[in-house]
Structure 1
Amino acid sequence: MTTRLRQTKATLVCRRTGNLRAVQLLLGHRKIGSTVRYLGIEVDDALAIAEQVSV
């Protein structure tokens, strides 16, 4: 899968589910901050999304 396609799919999963943790796992990132930077979303938005997800 190309980098652009991988990023697009990750972005769509995040938008549709609001589940950053799922996107983090799909991308194989160890840190959620890496996923946030990869998706190009703002930290405040990421925190708001993460608060909605229980682990």
Structure 2
Amino acid sequence: MASRIRDLALLDLAIDSKLRGCDLVVLRVSDVAHWVILLRRAIVPQRKTQRPVQFEIP
């Protein structure tokens, strides 16, 4: 069940951010949360182009 929750979270982030899977699987909790507070937005550099992508976290 835990892997399904992870997969669903990755799918939601992929749809909202329009990032590739290889960019999403390297995300760490610290990229989307600060201590126990979930961030509203995150900035992730794309692996292919190295351009930063900002997206909202649902």
When normalised by structure 1's length, the TM-score is 0.42
* Higher strand residue share: 2
* Higher helix residue share: 1
- Tell which structure's C-alpha radius of gyration is larger: 2
